[in-house]
Amino acid sequence: MDTQTFRKQIDITPNLKESLCYFLKTSRYSGAVLVSSDNIFQRYGQDVLESCQDAGLSIFPFMMENGEKSKTLATAEACWQQMHTKGLDRSSLVIALGGGVVTDVAGFIAACYMRGIDVIHLPTTLLAMVDAAIGGKTGVNLPSGKNLIGAFHHPKLVLAACNTLKTLPARELRSGIAEVIKYGVIKDPALFAFLEKNMDALLSLDPHAIAHVISCSCSIKTEIVQEDEKERGTRAFLNYGHTFAHALETATHYHSYLHGEAVSIGMCCAAITSRLMGLTDDALVRRLKDLCLKAGLPVKLPSDIDINRFITLMEGDKKASFGKIHLILPETLGSVRRIANVDRAIIRQALIESQGLKP
């Protein structure tokens, strides 16, 4: 898929209802299912149902439980069964309304139903707007690990309705900002500088600041995905900070940190590793740490984390191979490198230094 097509699929809008209705009126679907969870459906579901009604499209809601625990094959199967019972055919549509959990599951439902039907995403968290809803990765968890079952399936449309962020808990908003900071580090020094200057505006949901960061983030992600859809090369840059983050999430049983919070700590650990390897300077580490703190994100690894176990968890990450740890490390702002088989002694030193970081 070329970049132009990708970009046309992403729309940042204050008005979900109007934009959705326009899209549906210009498409031909035989029916639709709206995948969401109760708390989000109660707030924004009616707009989606009314858009479908205005466009003459029959739709039924499928509610999944809120949270990661419902990102399972059982949820997908229950939805497939209802879709079949309601007579949805190959020309039908899945509409996802929610955060990354909903868009991942709904995308997977669409990828497999009758060997693939269209999906459109209406992300309602910043993280889903800048990351989960774009790029085509869909999936569910297994009891033994996250996102282990899935498929690549690109949405026909992503409508980022910024107004929905008004009801998003502040901690969830900050978690999404971590992924925006990531885009600044890996590809866009101007975005990083914008965040340094405008963090307060962003946290208070200034419409221009929000639209700007969503637009920059989507452009960077689509460009990278377009270059390397199946993650054989540069798409791995999007994992900056994530090998540390996944180990931290596993070590703390997914209870203590939201994903973006773990990514914030992970990005700082990776930057310290880079400095210890002589690939970057202390100024980058400091700017990154200061920006994450400005966003209200944690930056230091908790002191009660067992470093040996942490490194073992990093070796077991999906992105590791044969127990070797490969990391995405920053050189300058906007430029990262993949370093294969990073020396464990350096990682250990970086983790210890991270535990001692002064906020």
Ligand X SMILES: NC(=O)c1ccc[n+]([C@@H]2O[C@H](COP(=O)([O-])OP(=O)(O)OC[C@H]3O[C@@H](n4cnc5c(N)ncnc54)[C@H](O)[C@@H]3O)[C@@H](O)[C@H]2O)c1
Q: Which is nearer to ligand X, 3 or 42 (CB)?
A: 42
Nearer to ligand X, 135 or 266 (CB): 135
Residues 150/100, Cβ–Cβ less than 8 Å:
no
CB of 243 to ligand X, least distance (A): 15
For the CA atoms of 330, 336, 337, 342, what is the dihedral angle to 10 degrees? Answer: 30
Residue entry with tokens 């740490």: 289
The SS3 call for residue 318 is: coil
CB of 126 to ligand X, least distance (A): 8
Least Cβ distance, residue 258 to ligand X (angstroms):
7
CA-closest candidate to residue 267, choices 328, 312, 224: 328
In the complex, the smallest distance separating the C-beta of residue 128 from ligand X, rounded to whole angstroms, is 4
DSSP code of residue 129? I
Provide the minimum distance between the beta carbon of 282 and ligand X in the complex, in angstroms, as a whole number: 30
- Nearest distance, CB of residue 222 and ligand X, angstroms: 12
> Where along the sequence are the contacts to ligand X (CB under 6 A)?
37, 39-40, 66-68, 71, 98-102, 104, 124-125, 127-128, 131-132, 135, 137, 147, 164, 167-168, 172, 175, 259
CA–CA gap between residue 258 and residue 261 (Å, rounded): 5
Residue 128 or 350: the one with the smaller Cβ distance to ligand X is 128
112: exposed, middle or buried (Cβ count in 10 Å: 0-12, 13-18, 19+): middle
Q: Which two tokens stand for residue 76?
A: 């997908």
| Minimum separation from the CB atom of position 5 to ligand X (A) | 18
Cβ proximity to ligand X, 129 vs 333, nearer residue:
129
- Looking at the Cβ atoms of 170 and 283, the one nearer to ligand X is 170
* Smallest gap from residue 358 Cβ to ligand X (A): 28
Indicate the residue among 197 and 318 with the shorter CB distance to ligand X: 318
C-alpha dist (Å) from residue 225 to 88, 136, 154, 218: 31, 9, 11, 10
Instruction: Please state, in angstroms and rounded to a whole number, the distance separating the CA atoms of residues 118 and 103.
Output: 13
The 3-state secondary structure of 32-69 reads EEEEECHHHHHHHHHHHHHHHHHCCCCEEEEECCCCHH
The residue (of 129 and 351) whose beta carbon lies closer to ligand X is: 129
As a whole number of angstroms, the distance between CA 169 and CA 83 comes to: 32
C-beta closer to ligand X: residue 12 or 276:
12
